[in-house]
Amino acid sequence: MYSNHKLNIYSYLYSYIMRERIRQIMENENLTPARFADRLQINRANISHILNGRNNPSLDVVSKILSEMPYINTEWLINGSGQMYKDGFNIDSVPREHDLFNQSPVITAKDKESEQKSAVIEVNKPEKSTQISDNKIIEVQKNSDKKISQIIIYYNDNTFETFIPNSLK
């Protein structure tokens, strides 16, 4: 009985630590749970259940992580030993998904080449330009039928809050 209890604690700790490693991969790769699941070609609910602690990561999920991301250190993912990335791997070489807060553009060699070409080309602009425009008064029609029914805010720890206007409560 006592050893069975120890086994349950060990199993829980192992799944918790594995779940945190998966979170760390997602964070380093700048992937949402949905994008991560899509990249691994697994059901989004599987990742959601793993991250929420409902299910433990299956061998299939671990295999898909390692096959889709061959630069992840197998020993680190499974046992937690060593570094997250394999020796000699440069994290900056992995294309990252953009999010709302990190929208830095990715500049490729092709972009640099076209930028250099555009710098050489000179365009003579006319000194005066004439534009014909019609001045129109545009009336904005407000649709009073539309009212906010609820606002949902999602947090990065997979929780959310729902706000309902007082007039609807």
Please give the mean pLDDT across all residues of the chain. Answer: 76
Question: Which two tokens mark 127?
Answer: 């000194």
Report the candidate in 38, 37, 121, 70 with the shortest Cα–Cα distance to residue 46.
37
Decide if pLDDT at 142 tops 70.
no
Q: Read off the CATH number of the domain in which 19 is found.
A: 1.10.260.40
Q: Give bridge partners of residue 151 from the DSSP assignment.
A: 163
Q: What is the mean pLDDT of residues 16-44?
A: 92
**Residue 149 forms part of a structural domain:** no
Which pLDDT tens digit goes with each residue over 80-98? 889 999 988 877 776 665 5
Decide if pLDDT at 105 tops 70.
no
**Residue 52 forms part of a structural domain:** yes
**Residue 12 forms part of a structural domain:** yes
**Residue 79 forms part of a structural domain:** yes
pLDDT at 12: 66
DSSP symbols for the chain: -HHHHHHHHHHHHHHHHHHHHHHHHHHHHT--HHHHHHHHTS-HHHHHHHHTTSSPPPHHHHHHHHHH-TTB-HHHHHH--S-SBPTT--GGGSPPPP-SS--PPPPPHHHHHHHHHHHH---PPPS-----------PPPP-TT-----EEEE-TTS-EEEE--GGG-
**Residue 53 forms part of a structural domain:** yes
Q: What is the mean pLDDT of residues 157-161?
A: 84
Higher pLDDT, 128 or 49: 49
If one counts the domains in the chain, the total is 1
Is this model's pTM higher than 0.75 or not? no
Radius of gyration of the chain (CA): 26
Q: How confident is the model at residue 34 (pLDDT cuts 50, 70, 90)?
A: very high
Q: Which of 43-47, 71-75, 108-112 has the lowest mean pLDDT?
A: 108-112
pLDDT at 47: 93
SS (H, E, C) 22-58: HHHHHHHHCCCHHHHHHHHCCCHHHHHHHHCCCCCCC
**Residue 29 forms part of a structural domain:** yes
Containing structural domain, residue 90: 2-99
